[in-house]
């Protein structure tokens, strides 16, 4: 094998999934993660389309399904909590749609870590500082660990990828803001509904709650906005911003905001997409959100990461570790599938965050129409076709 050692930055979803397949193909893998441990919490994520086949080939389907979130579907509610429109999980089963596997992001990350920790070296509470490519590898320095030279480096470290910034250039060249922000956090409140509930308010604002596997609710806040001058690591400033933006919003907003300061998994970021003209440069490749983040609006991020990890590892194995052959093949196999997955659902941001009361009523009416029998086939094409259509290659595993 030409290159045997691979350093992966990021222990979220894409990084451990890639580590799983690289180990199976005989590579020696190290994963470095800035956080002190696997990050808990987070919203429910979908495993859909081709990604279901990937987790099946990993032998993890049963374990993932055992920790799935039991969610009946999505519903829009008014100030008093009355349902104005809903989309049940099984509304489109008659159109040949297989229900997505929904699992909390933190639970999926933990399962992937548990599936790899005995075979892969994990280094937590550390991060890459510099990358220097040499004829024989990549010289890497870290914030805490001693420098080392590895054959290949893969950035699976998210939208704000440090690896991408070091190897490809500044974030501003690749991250495209979509004009909104989102926050997630866990609350101590029990879930009595079993639905993903959303309440829209004028001004392009939405508050939501989702059930968790642990009997509590996860809160979502999102709002339209041009880029804001708020430090990505200043949680207190982000929470003050949210409290001010949603001070006059009804439904359960006040109690959810009251729980926000105590949330250990608070997350705040812009809605953005990552667009890169190439996913590799020399011995460094990008994977998942670092390469192609589709934005949470699409619901495709986790699935694309799982499929991408499978293909990248497989192409490296098929090329006997020769990155000069494997990286272009990885991109050629996935580029069209990723572009399809980056397409925003019908209505885009204006459908998710309607700006006026009239627009909110129109969106609710359109939701009711979409779930009616005459329009189900059209809705299926608009919302559920992006995750399918890729025939997974077969790669011979060495382990």
The burial of 223, by beta-carbon neighbours within 10 Å (0-12 exposed, 13-18 middle, 19 or more buried), is given as buried
What are the residue ranges spanned by the domains of the chain?
A: 5-70+99-173+273-341
pTM of structure: 0.92
Tokens matching residue 283: 């011995």
Q: With 50 as the cut, is the pLDDT of residue 96 above it?
A: no
Q: How confident is the model at residue 367 (pLDDT cuts 50, 70, 90)?
A: confident
Which residues lie closer than 8 Å to 283 by C-beta, 6 or more apart?
3, 133, 137, 138, 151, 152, 153, 323
Counts of helices then strands in the chain (DSSP H, E): 13, 18
CB atoms within 10 A of CB 241: 18
Q: Give the 3-state secondary structure of residue 266.
A: coil
Q: With 60 as the cut, is the pLDDT of residue 43 above it?
A: yes
Residue pLDDT, tens place only, 101-116: 889 999 999 999 999 9
**Percentage of residues in the chain having pLDDT higher than 90:** 75
**Percentage of residues in the chain having pLDDT higher than 70:** 92
Q: Identify the CATH assignment for 5-70+99-173+273-341 out of 3.30.200.20, 3.30.450.20, 1.10.10.10, 3.50.50.60.
A: 3.50.50.60
pLDDT of residue 398: 64
Residue pLDDT, tens place only, 191-248: 878 899 999 999 999 999 998 887 789 999 999 999 999 998 899 999 999 999 999 9
pLDDT of residue 93: 53
Residues 251 and 207 sit within 8 Å (Cβ to Cβ)? yes
CA 288 vs. chain centroid, Å, equals 8
Residue pLDDT, tens place only, 245-296: 999 999 999 999 999 999 999 999 999 999 999 999 999 999 999 999 999 8
Q: How many CA atoms lie within 13 A of 247 on its CB side?
A: 6
Residues 45 and 39 sit within 8 Å (Cβ to Cβ)? no
Residue pLDDT, tens place only, 52-94: 999 999 999 999 999 998 888 889 999 999 999 988 877 655 4
Mean pLDDT, the chain, whole residue set: 91
Distance, CA of 285 to CA of 302 (rounded, Å) = 18
């Amino acid at each position: 094998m030409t290159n045997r050692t691979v350093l992966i930055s990021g222990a979220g979803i894409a990084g451990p999934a890639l580590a799983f397949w690289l180990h199976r193909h005989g590579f020696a893998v190290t994963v470095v993660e800035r956080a002190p441990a696997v990050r808990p919490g987070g919203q429910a994520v979908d495993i859909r389309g081709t990604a279901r086949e990937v987790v099946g080939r990993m032998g993890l389907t049963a374990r993932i399904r055992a920790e799935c979130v039991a969610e009946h579907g999505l519903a829009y509610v008014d100030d008093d909590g009355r349902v104005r429109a809903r989309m049940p999980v099984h509304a489109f089963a008659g159109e040949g749609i297989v229900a997505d596997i929904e699992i909390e992001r933190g639970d999926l990350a933990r399962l992937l870590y548990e599936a790899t920790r005995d075979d892969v070296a994990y280094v937590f509470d550390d991060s890459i500082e510099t990358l220097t490519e040499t004829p024989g590898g990549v010289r890497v320095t870290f914030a805490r660990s001693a420098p080392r030279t590895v054959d290949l480096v893969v950035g699976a470290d998210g939208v704000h990828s440090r690896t991408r910034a070091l190897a490809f250039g500044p974030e501003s060249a690749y991250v495209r803001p979509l004009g909104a922000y989102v926050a997630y956090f866990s609350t101590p409140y029990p879930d009595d509904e079993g639905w993903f509930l959303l309440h829209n308010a004028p001004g392009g604002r939405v508050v939501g709650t989702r059930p968790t596997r642990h009997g509590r609710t996860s809160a979502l806040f999102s709002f339209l906005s041009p880029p804001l001058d708020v430090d990505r690591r200043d949680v207190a400033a982000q929470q003050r911003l949210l409290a001010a933006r949603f001070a006059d919003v009804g439904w359960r907003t006040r109690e959810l905001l009251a729980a926000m300061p105590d949330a250990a998994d608070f997350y705040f970021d812009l809605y953005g997409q990552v667009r890169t003209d190439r996913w590799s440069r020399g011995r460094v490749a990008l994977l998942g959100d670092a390469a192609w983040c589709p934005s949470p609006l699409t619901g495709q991020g986790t699935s694309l990461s799982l499929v991408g990890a499978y293909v990248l590892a497989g192409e490296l194995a098929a090329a006997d570790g020769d990155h000069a052959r494997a990286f272009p093949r990885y991109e050629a196999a996935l580029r069209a599938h990723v572009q399809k997955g980056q397409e925003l659902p019908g209505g885009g941001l204006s459908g998710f965050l309607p700006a006026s009361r009239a627009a909110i009523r129109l969106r609710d009416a359109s939701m009711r129409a979409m779930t009616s029998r005459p329009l189900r086939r059209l809705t299926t094409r608009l919302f559920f076709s992006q995750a399918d259509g890729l025939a997974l290659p077969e790669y011979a595993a060495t382990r």
